[in-house]
Amino acid sequence: MRISQCQHVALKLYTRSESTAGELDSELDVYKRIANSSERHPGRHAVRSLIDSFELETPSGRHRCLIHTLLWESALKIKNRNPIRRLPPPVIAFLLKRLFLALDFLHQECHVAHTDIKEANILLPADSSVMSQFEIQELNEPSPRKDVDSNIIYLSRKMGTPKAFGAPVLCDFGSAVPLDDGLEHREDIQSDIYRAPEVILDIPWTYSVDIWNAGCMVSSNQVDTLGGPESDFFEVWDAFEGEHLFTGLDPEHNTYRGRAYLSEMIALLGPPPPSLLARANLKSKFFSEDGERSKS
């Protein structure tokens, strides 16, 4: 390869284990779908693509390594850099637009549900200046390292701030699920605090679970003024409010429980429609026959 063709890249290394085998297959399948999709869709460049992949031979076995274009920090880390732990409304609006473009692309072109929408999976591209800074620092002051069982372990070095940023992209397709297989999907998906009602109630789910994920990050500025001028202003809940819309925390047990999560949903949105409960395999676990919440 000529020097002019060299570029900085990011590597994602999968450790060899049975628990990650399915995740790797899912992620590679999504990247193939992305590569074979239309370049004209406006959401094509709102998702991370794969440059290449290779197998890494080690004493503990073969490990798959994915090669990506260089990205910087996630929306979550950028939010946490702000002393008030929030993002400005213009930044949130742009991030939200990119997220919906990415989801429309994944759903319409790739026929997959992401199932893990959160701030940590939305990253900003960066120019090469941050890596140039890193190289100079390593040359002048190499990172400390040690040998552990014949493996070289390096001390992490903090990255600098890029001179220029790109538009946010949606990443991490290890939990993505193809939905064009004609099957009924009831898998247990999503982070606890972003879990869709269908998942909790054991109802066959589809692309709408991603929209619920986004919905948990989006709320009207004033719920009681819907229809008024204020209802036109929307914010990303986690990024703007600095807290989660739903937590599912059961104060009696001090842990997450589906019952507590459903209670929070109902308190904000009202009871679920009978048509939804009629399809729920776990209806009796949370509701009585007439649709009232079970107290047990």
The confidence score (pLDDT) of residue 100 equals 95
Nearest to 107 by CA among 10, 201, 190, 211: 211
Looking at the predicted structure, is the pLDDT value of residue 121 above 90?
Answer: yes
* Cα distances (angstroms) measured from residue 84 to each of 15, 46, 88, 96, 243: 37, 27, 11, 20, 11
Tell the residue number behind the tokens 């009871």, with chain if given: 271
Q: Are 280 and 201 in contact (CB under 8 A)?
A: yes
The confidence score (pLDDT) of residue 2 equals 46
The confidence score (pLDDT) of residue 3 equals 45
Beta carbons within 10 angstroms of residue 74's beta carbon = 19
3-126+165-245 has which CATH code? 1.10.510.10
97: exposed, middle or buried (C-beta count within 10 Å: 0-12, 13-18, 19+)?
middle
* Residue 50 neighbours by CB under 8 Å, 6+ apart: 28, 31, 34, 35, 66, 67, 68
Domain boundaries, the chain: 3-126+165-245
Looking at the predicted structure, is the pLDDT value of residue 4 above 80?
Answer: no
- For residues 28-54, average pLDDT: 94
- How far apart CA 99 and CA 122 sit, in angstroms, is 8
Active site residues per annotation: 116
Q: For residue range 214-255, what is the model confidence (pLDDT) as tens digits?
A: 877 754 322 332 333 333 333 345 544 455 677 777 777 777
The confidence score (pLDDT) of residue 236 equals 44
* Residue 242 neighbours by CB under 8 Å, 6+ apart: 79, 84, 85, 86
For the ranges 17-21, 30-34, 212-216, 279-283, the maximum mean pLDDT occurs at 30-34
Tell the residue number behind the tokens 């199932």, with chain if given: 115
The confidence score (pLDDT) of residue 18 equals 58
Per the prediction, the chain carries an average pLDDT of: 81
3-state secondary structure (DSSP) of residue 275: helix
pTM check: above 0.95: no
- How far apart CA 67 and CA 84 sit, in angstroms, is 35
The confidence score (pLDDT) of residue 258 equals 77
Please list the alpha-helical segments (H only) found in 225-296.
Answer: 237-241, 258-269, 274-277, 283-286
Which of 74-83, 196-205, 223-232 is predicted with the least confidence, judged by mean pLDDT? 223-232
Looking at the predicted structure, is the pLDDT value of residue 112 above 90?
Answer: yes
Q: Quick one: which H or E segment has residue 23?
A: helix 18-35
The confidence score (pLDDT) of residue 67 equals 94
Which of 155-164, 180-189, 255-264 is predicted with the least confidence, judged by mean pLDDT? 255-264
- How far apart CA 283 and CA 144 sit, in angstroms, is 56
CA–centroid distance for 65 within its chain: 20
* Residue 24 neighbours by CB under 8 Å, 6+ apart: 14, 64, 174
CA–centroid distance for 87 within its chain: 17
